[in-house]
């Protein structure tokens, strides 16, 4: 990020001079900053809602059920953290939320998992293996019920809004598998 961020900003600045777009660029600076404030206000509501519900899940038997259900996959994905109970709980909730297409619930659970994983991380400056896997899985995110897209298609008058599900499954699974395999290779190579 310390390289990418300045590069994006500087290149954008130079390109907009070359392109005669400098006025747009200037406006975008102020509008992006105020966009964040609007976004954060909705975000804080959603985060609190799902953090609260997550706490209830953790205190009930639902948690054990989730863990039992996901354990075989999660043990393989996060071999170094399989005994970290708090982290695995948060990761389970994060995974289920991604499956169901509730991004609002996935983020607080994912960040909670990062916090727990950081506690067992030996080198705090560097992402641990489990963190890398968690991040990659959240960027590719398998979605079984793509609620937003179906809603958009329905509102634009599609005859069969949910016919999109099959192509989405194939494409999201292809992407996620690629991500997982590449991450496993990347992590293995670094160890040597």
Partner 1 sequence: MIYFSSIIIPLIISIIIFCGLIQNKKVYDIFCEGAKDGIKMTMKMFPTLIGIFLAVGMLRSSGLLEFISNIIGKLVKNFNVPSEIIPLAFIKPISGSASMALATDIISKFGTDTRIGMIAATIMAASETTFYVIAVYMNSVKAKKSRKVIIPALIADVVSIVTAICIIK
Angle in degrees, CA 133, 115, 140, rounded to 5: 30
Interface with partner 1 (CB under 8 A), residue total: 104
Nearest alpha-carbon partner for 16 in 26, 7, 1? 26
CA–CA separation, 47 and 61 (whole Å):
23
CA–CA separation, 97 and 110 (whole Å):
10
Nearest alpha-carbon partner for 115 in 91, 136, 133, 137? 91
CA–CA separation, 10 and 15 (whole Å):
9
Least gap, CB of 158 to partner 1 (angstroms): 4
Site for partner 1 in 64-93 (CB under 8 A): none
Based on the shown chain and the rule CB under 8 A, indicate whether residue 15 belongs to the binding site for partner 1.
yes
Least gap, CB of 107 to partner 1 (angstroms): 7
Choosing from 50, 66, 74, 91, the residue that interacts with partner 1 (CB under 8 A) is 50
Choosing from 69, 79, 171, 188, the residue that interacts with partner 1 (CB under 8 A) is 171
Based on the shown chain and the rule CB under 8 A, indicate whether residue 12 belongs to the binding site for partner 1.
yes
CA–CA separation, 99 and 109 (whole Å):
13
Based on the shown chain and the rule CB under 8 A, indicate whether residue 56 belongs to the binding site for partner 1.
yes
Which residues, at least 6 apart from 149, have a Cβ–Cβ distance to it below 8 Å?
Answer: 164, 168
Least gap, CB of 30 to partner 1 (angstroms): 9
By CB under 8 A, which span of 1-9, 66-74, 76-84 interacts with partner 1?
1-9
By CB under 8 A, which span of 69-77, 81-89, 172-180 interacts with partner 1?
172-180
Least gap, CB of 69 to partner 1 (angstroms): 14
* Residues 66, 57 contacting (CB under 8 angstroms): yes
Comparing CB distances to partner 1, the nearer of 73 and 152 is 152
Choosing from 82, 99, 111, 120, the residue that interacts with partner 1 (CB under 8 A) is 111
Site for partner 1 in 127-156 (CB under 8 A): 127, 131-132, 134-136, 138-141, 143, 145-154, 156
Question: Angle 22-59/103-120 helices, nearest 10 degrees?
Answer: 80
């Amino acid at each position: 990020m310390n390289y990418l961020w300045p590069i994006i900003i500087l290149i954008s600045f130079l390109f907009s001079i070359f392109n005669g777009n400098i006025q747009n660029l200037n406006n975008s600076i102020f509008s992006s900053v105020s966009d964040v404030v609007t976004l954060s206000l909705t975000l804080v509501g959603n985060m609190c809602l799902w953090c609260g519900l997550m706490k209830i899940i953790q205190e009930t038997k639902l948690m054990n059920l989730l863990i039992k259900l996901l354990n075989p996959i999660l043990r393989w994905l996060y071999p170094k953290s399989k005994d970290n109970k708090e982290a695995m709980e948060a990761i389970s909730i994060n995974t289920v939320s991604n499956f169901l297409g509730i991004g609002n619930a996935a983020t607080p659970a994912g960040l909670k998992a990062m916090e727990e994983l950081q506690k067992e991380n030996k080198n705090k400056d560097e992402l641990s293996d489990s963190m890398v896997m968690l991040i990659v899985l959240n960027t590719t995110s398998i979605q079984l019920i793509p609620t937003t897209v179906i809603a958009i298609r329905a509102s634009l008058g599609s005859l069969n809004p949910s016919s999109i599900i099959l192509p989405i499954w194939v494409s999201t699974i292809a992407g996620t598998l690629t991500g997982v395999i590449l991450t496993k290779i990347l992590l293995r190579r670094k160890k040597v």
